[in-house]
């Protein structure tokens, strides 16, 4: 195996463990903020995985998907923050 393949395998393993931990937090999270944070972490892991795949294979075909995921992450975080702020105010 080449060094790049070993690094890619290690990165995929770490991304997988992080994704499983985030999914567990989404399922078991006691509050909506825990679930929202875990969802943001899961989206960040997905974006890092796509970026790593683009770097390993040396292409930019999935760059649009990466940008759309980033947009959804930002919009989702803002929407949840506004929802929680309205709940706290009332």
**What pLDDT was estimated at residue 51?**
94
On the CB side of 35, how many CA atoms lie within 13 Å of its CA?
A: 9
CA atoms within 13 A on the CB side of 73: 18
The model's pLDDT over 37-66, given as tens digits with 9 standing for 90+, comes to: 999 999 999 999 999 999 989 999 999 999
For the whole prediction, is pTM greater than 0.85?
yes
Full set of structural domains in the chain with CATH: 3-89 (1.10.287)
């Amino acid at each position: 195996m080449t060094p790049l393949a070993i690094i890619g395998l290690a990165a995929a393993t770490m991304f997988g463990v992080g994704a499983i931990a985030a999914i567990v937090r989404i399922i078991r999270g006691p509050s909506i903020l825990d679930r929202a944070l875990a969802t943001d972490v899961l989206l960040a892991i997905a974006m890092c995985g796509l970026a790593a795949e683009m770097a390993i294979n040396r292409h930019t075909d999935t760059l649009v998907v990466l940008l759309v995921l980033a947009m959804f992450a930002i919009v989702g975080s803002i929407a949840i923050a506004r929802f929680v702020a309205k709940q706290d105010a009332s």
